[in-house]
Chains A and B, each alone.
Chain A
Amino acid sequence: MTLTAFESAPLYTGADWDYDKVRRVYDAIEKVALGEMGLDCYTNQIEVITSEQMLDAYSSIGMPLFYKHWSFGKHFARDEALYRKGQRGLAYEIVINSNPCISYIMEENTMTMQTLVIAHAAFGHNHFFKNNYLFQQWTDADGILDYLSFAKAYINHCEERYGHAMVERVLDAAHALMNHGVHRYPRRRGPDLRNEEKRARERLEHAEATFNDLWRTVPTKAGGPSALSDRDRRRSLLELPEENILYFLEKKAPRLQGWQREILRIVRHVAQYFYPQRQTKVMNEGCATYCHYRILSTLHERGALTDGAWMEAMHSHTNVVFQPEFDDRRYGGINPYALGFAMMQDIERIATQPTQEDRYWFPDLAGRGDAMGALRNAWANFRDESFILQYLSPALIRKFRLFHVADDARDPEMKVAAIHDERGYRAVRQALARQYDIAWAEADIQIVDVDLVGDRKLILEHHVMNQILLEEDEARSVMQHLADLWGYEVVLAEVETPGGTPLRRINVSPRVVLGGG
């Protein structure tokens, strides 16, 4: 095909934007995104806001409506201070995982920036939200805005009814436990009678079909299977151990009132809603960045974007995907945009122009030609950890010159465990993947026991990995919040894993009983 066939007049010229231009650009982007890249998006709703409103949106973690709490005011105050001093710029966009998918664009932006943002957020992020399995499993894009509006009204109502201070205390406590208020695995369903019956019938049929009288003659252990201990019975009754602390409190805390349980539930739902986002930073940004880059370069090739606009877009793009090296003053960890974008491009390269090395490392992917298909598959079925484990190629490790440092507090020095060489690729890849594994980065804390008949002491366990204990002061304050909610004494035992050696115990009694009897 010849380029001239697509040659067209630029969609816009100049920096100012207006609704007509946005419409034209949107249609052109949509043609590329849906038609050629095969993206699958929620209906878009693009909202124009001012920078002040953008700051507002920041403070309520990007959601268009949210309940009120002082901590959001605190974040707003800090963001505002930094922004006014020019120490921090504002994000170009905020996009919300909802259906319709809401993207905010700022009125101060130039037309090129709006184009970039629409391609990035309204198509890139949007596709990711709609198709990634984590989001499908854990979030309800159709209902989230309604739910938040309910939550806001409910908490407002509670404040009027029970007073600011009471509600604030419950929210403080719930926020402290927020990261431990998510279900990490799909819940076991309660038994469904029809299925149970079917399974029982199948078991019976199986037993009949494979009946062998010989089994009857096998001697059994004297006294039959050992009886469950008290502790075990109690634990199974309360479905312990339980790692979703907020869920447990909501269902089982003895002294909480109905509205307090509902607030815990709201916070828990919000935490669950954001849970996928925390696990897919690299992929989500990588996907969106790849999309805007691909869409804009396609438009530019066809003359729909002027050279000037393209240069401006690339300027922003390169700023976003800049990765300083570790000894750079600007280094602040691995930039998810940079890593994500590089990996997406790398997948495209492997799919279309593989080297011998790629053929060895990615036999299924190398040279399959359909880069978009491979990417869409990756976007749908992975999270950061598994994505890096699967797709980080030696070529990319070399490009970033990644190296793995092992730091053991008992040794005086750190050790370089692996670098970008033949022996190190797998180790580096594995270590990097683990860095993005939320289950690895976050403390593994579970509620293991509670004596509901006796003193009602709630016992939690922190399974200490790699000898990294909890931050003691903070853990103590969080336990204080937990004790306030639970209403009785709470114990957090930190035990070494594996091994089970107890390392530290934090004992806290409630200071105010939130439930009030």
Chain B
Amino acid sequence: MFTIVDRRLNPSGKSLANRQRFLRRAKEQVMRAVRDASAKRGIRDIDMGGDIAISPDGIREPTLRRSATGGQRDYVVPGNKEFLSGDKIKRPPSGGGGGGGNQGSDDGDGQDEFRFVLSREEFIDLFLEDLELPDLAKRKLAVTDAMDWHRAGYSVAGSPANLNLVRTMRNSLARRIALHRPTGDEIKALRQEIDDLERTGSDRERLEQARLELAEALKRTQRIPYIDPVDVRYNRFAATPRPSAQAVMFCLMDVSGSMTEHMKDLAKRFYMLLYLFLSRRYKHVDVVFIRHTHRAAEVDEETFFYSPETGGTVVSTALEEMARVIKERYPPAEWNIYAAQASDGDNALSDNTKTAQLMTDVILPDCQYYAYLEVGQEGMMPGLPYGGGPRETDLWRTYKQIRAGGALAMRRVTERKEIYPVFRELFARDKAGQPAEVSA
């Protein structure tokens, strides 16, 4: 007697709740490990899950165990080859190895670090914890110019194109039956009978009666219409406003000679983060790469990051290019527009006014958020908060003047490990619902 049960279709992930408890418990360590890991990782791997090693503090499970060292111990071990009783043996170096027969299986408590795998979702969730997009709901969730139309039952009024024939005819049939409208066949039969009677002239009385019946039937037919306006039904469509789930992210970068590989790498990481962040919030994220020297062009990712270019530096060209792309492909009513600009701060002196004007008049009104990241040479001004002074760059000074609205944030970064804090700061959840203002 036995039963066999197929449990394969039972929901898996029974231990999910335990896992969540574990992550919550080890949150601090896991967060730190995630930050470390993301700093070390290659750009393209950042949104993958993977191995995480955390220190076992806080997730130890202590028990009352006898110490593994000291005292008198007895081991019984298999595989004697040369020993005779009374022989002396050197103690194995760490106390494990040769002896230790009565130690239970190591349950991980003795290990220096605890390794496990985070799924992609968990990794990114922790990575982006407590960040919030600025003004996310501001535009698209309120504006209803993008509509979805859904069928929503029937209505008695509508345009002829939406006439629902089946419904209409069904109503009409029901009404005709209820009101005893003579059918075409009945009238035809009467006419036939009258014809026959007239031709033979046999039964006058019946002929008379049939004529009366026919007249009555025709009268009813006229009084009761085949299709009455009350029968008519139209397909009804209801409109629901569709929150825009698409965003476009503009990556602007100065690629002139003064930008070193290190600076580009910093910028890359920032874009990476921004992309990750946006792709968590929006269903669809487009990325547009615009690089500029003294002229700007929209390029693909490969060219953007790796293709060399020489020339002067005119920032307004990039802004013009961006404005053109927005106009052509990304109407601000339908797209959430984000921009991140990375530069070493150089700009042609004559261009500053134009840049400022473009920003205030064209770019900023269309953007949800515009982040300006000034990248510095490694080791330069380490940790110095950029607070004015003689070394303020042209671009910084220009942007500082127009930074009145909330949409423009600026920050200076010189080292890779600063990227994440800066990013967090730029996008930190703010009590007022506004992105935290960057002190300059």
Q: Is B7 an interface residue (CB 8 A)?
A: yes
Measured in the bound complex, the distance between the Cα atoms of B15 and A449 in whole Å is 41
Closest A residue to B65 using CB positions: A471
Measured in the bound complex, the distance between the Cα atoms of B298 and A141 in whole Å is 72
Q: Are A416 and B86 in contact (CB under 8 A)?
A: yes
Q: A81-B115, A467-B72 are in contact. Are A414 and B77 (CB under 8 A)?
A: no
Measured in the bound complex, the distance between the Cα atoms of B64 and A415 in whole Å is 28
Q: Are B19 and A76 in contact (CB under 8 A)?
A: yes
Could you say which of B95-103, B222-230, B261-269, B304-312 contacts chain A?
A: B95-103
**Cβ of A326: which chain B residues have Cβ within 8 Å of it?**
77-79, 98-99
Q: Are B64 and A470 in contact (CB under 8 A)?
A: yes
**Cβ of B6: which chain A residues have Cβ within 8 Å of it?**
47-48
Q: Are B114 and A78 in contact (CB under 8 A)?
A: yes
Q: Are A419 and B101 in contact (CB under 8 A)?
A: no
Q: Are A404 and B117 in contact (CB under 8 A)?
A: no
**Cβ of A424: which chain B residues have Cβ within 8 Å of it?**
85
**Cβ of B68: which chain A residues have Cβ within 8 Å of it?**
471
Q: Is A178 an interface residue (CB 8 A)?
A: yes
Interchain nearest-CB distance for B103 vs A (Å): 7
Q: Are A443 and B88 in contact (CB under 8 A)?
A: no
Q: Are B64 and A402 in contact (CB under 8 A)?
A: no
Q: Are A421 and B7 in contact (CB under 8 A)?
A: no
Measured in the bound complex, the distance between the Cα atoms of B95 and A405 in whole Å is 13
Q: A81-B51, A413-B91, A474-B65 are in contact. Are A404 and B75 (CB under 8 A)?
A: yes
Q: Is A113 an interface residue (CB 8 A)?
A: no
Q: A409-B70, A414-B88, A416-B89 are in contact. Are A403 and B15 (CB under 8 A)?
A: no
Q: Is B63 an interface residue (CB 8 A)?
A: yes
Interchain nearest-CB distance for B23 vs A (Å): 7
Q: Are A409 and B72 in contact (CB under 8 A)?
A: yes
Q: Is B24 an interface residue (CB 8 A)?
A: yes
Measured in the bound complex, the distance between the Cα atoms of B105 and A418 in whole Å is 26
Q: Are B71 and A409 in contact (CB under 8 A)?
A: yes
Q: Are A48 and B7 in contact (CB under 8 A)?
A: yes
Q: Are B60 and A328 in contact (CB under 8 A)?
A: no
Closest B residue to A444 using CB positions: B66
Could you say which of A187-195, A299-307, A347-355, A431-439 contacts chain B?
A: A431-439
Q: Are B74 and A406 in contact (CB under 8 A)?
A: yes
Q: Are B78 and A325 in contact (CB under 8 A)?
A: yes
Closest A residue to B68 using CB positions: A471
Q: Are A72 and B70 in contact (CB under 8 A)?
A: no
Q: Are A477 and B80 in contact (CB under 8 A)?
A: no
Interchain nearest-CB distance for B381 vs A (Å): 42
Interface string of B9-29 (1 = CB under 8 A from A): 010111101111111111000
Interchain nearest-CB distance for A32 vs B (Å): 15
Q: Which of A43, A74, A178, A467 has the largest number of chain B CB atoms within 10 A?
A: A74
**Cβ of B84: which chain A residues have Cβ within 8 Å of it?**
416, 419
Q: Is B62 an interface residue (CB 8 A)?
A: yes
**Cβ of B64: which chain A residues have Cβ within 8 Å of it?**
176-177, 179-180, 443, 445, 462, 470, 474-475, 478
Q: Are B117 and A80 in contact (CB under 8 A)?
A: yes
Q: Is A59 an interface residue (CB 8 A)?
A: yes
Measured in the bound complex, the distance between the Cα atoms of B65 and A445 in whole Å is 11
Closest B residue to A104 using CB positions: B7
Q: Are A73 and B115 in contact (CB under 8 A)?
A: no
Measured in the bound complex, the distance between the Cα atoms of B19 and A68 in whole Å is 9
Chain A 61-111 interface residues, beta-carbon cutoff 8 Å to B: 68-78, 80-81, 84, 100, 104, 107
Interface string of B393-427 (1 = CB under 8 A from A): 00000000000000000000000000000000000
Could you say which of A50-58, A212-220, A311-319 contacts chain B?
A: A50-58
Q: Is A469 an interface residue (CB 8 A)?
A: yes
Closest A residue to B111 using CB positions: A78
Question: Which of B66, B76, B88 is within 8 Å of A415, CB to CB?
Answer: B88
Question: Which of B8, B98, B115 is within 8 Å of A53, CB to CB?
Answer: B8
Interchain nearest-CB distance for B153 vs A (Å): 42
Q: Is A442 an interface residue (CB 8 A)?
A: yes
Q: Is A277 an interface residue (CB 8 A)?
A: no
**Cβ of A30: which chain B residues have Cβ within 8 Å of it?**
2
Chain A 463-509 interface residues, beta-carbon cutoff 8 Å to B: 466-475, 477-478, 481
**Cβ of A344: which chain B residues have Cβ within 8 Å of it?**
none
Q: Are A45 and B5 in contact (CB under 8 A)?
A: yes
Q: Are B17 and A478 in contact (CB under 8 A)?
A: no
Q: Are A81 and B66 in contact (CB under 8 A)?
A: no
Question: Which of B13, B26, B91 is within 8 Å of A414, CB to CB?
Answer: B91
Q: Are B17 and A68 in contact (CB under 8 A)?
A: yes
Q: Are B1 and A53 in contact (CB under 8 A)?
A: no
Chain B, interface size category, equals 35 or more
Q: Are A413 and B90 in contact (CB under 8 A)?
A: yes
Q: A327-B98, A409-B72, A442-B66 are in contact. Are A402 and B78 (CB under 8 A)?
A: yes
Chain A 347-377 interface residues, beta-carbon cutoff 8 Å to B: none
Q: Is B87 an interface residue (CB 8 A)?
A: yes
Measured in the bound complex, the distance between the Cα atoms of B13 and A477 in whole Å is 32
Closest A residue to B5 using CB positions: A47
Q: Are B61 and A175 in contact (CB under 8 A)?
A: yes
**Cβ of A69: which chain B residues have Cβ within 8 Å of it?**
18, 21
Q: Are B66 and A469 in contact (CB under 8 A)?
A: yes
Question: Which of B7, B23, B89 is within 8 Å of A413, CB to CB?
Answer: B89
Measured in the bound complex, the distance between the Cα atoms of B123 and A405 in whole Å is 49
Interchain nearest-CB distance for A442 vs B (Å): 7
Interchain nearest-CB distance for B108 vs A (Å): 6
Closest A residue to B74 using CB positions: A431
Measured in the bound complex, the distance between the Cα atoms of B319 and A343 in whole Å is 83
**Cβ of A78: which chain B residues have Cβ within 8 Å of it?**
108, 114-116
Measured in the bound complex, the distance between the Cα atoms of B17 and A417 in whole Å is 51
Q: A78-B108, A405-B89 are in contact. Are A100 and B3 (CB under 8 A)?
A: yes
Q: Is B161 an interface residue (CB 8 A)?
A: no
Q: Are A403 and B67 in contact (CB under 8 A)?
A: no
Q: Are B10 and A53 in contact (CB under 8 A)?
A: yes
Q: Which of B1, B62, B68 has the largest number of chain A CB atoms within 10 A?
A: B62
Could you say which of A18-26, A221-229, A290-298 contacts chain B?
A: A18-26
**Cβ of B17: which chain A residues have Cβ within 8 Å of it?**
68, 73
Interchain nearest-CB distance for B34 vs A (Å): 14
Q: Is A60 an interface residue (CB 8 A)?
A: yes
**Cβ of A68: which chain B residues have Cβ within 8 Å of it?**
17-18, 21
Q: Is B199 an interface residue (CB 8 A)?
A: no
Chain B 294-349 interface residues, beta-carbon cutoff 8 Å to A: none
20 further A-B pairs in the complex, CB-CB below 8 A; given A70-B25, A164-B24, A401-B78: A47-B6, A52-B13, A53-B12, A56-B15, A68-B21, A69-B21, A70-B22, A71-B22, A74-B116, A77-B116, A78-B108, A176-B64, A325-B78, A326-B79, A408-B71, A420-B80, A435-B75, A470-B65, A474-B63, A478-B64
Top 5 closest pairs, chain A to chain B, by CB: A325-B79, A73-B22, A77-B116, A73-B18, A468-B71
A-B contact pairs, 13 of them (CB 8 A): A43-B3, A50-B8, A53-B7, A72-B18, A78-B116, A326-B79, A331-B79, A334-B78, A404-B75, A432-B76, A435-B76, A468-B66, A473-B62
Interface residues of A, Cβ cutoff 8 Å to B = 19, 22-23, 26, 30, 43-50, 52-53, 55-56, 59-60, 68-78, 80-81, 84, 100, 104, 107, 122, 164, 168, 172, 175-180, 323-328, 331-334, 400-409, 412-421, 423-424, 428, 431-432, 434-435, 441-443, 445, 462, 466-475, 477-478, 481
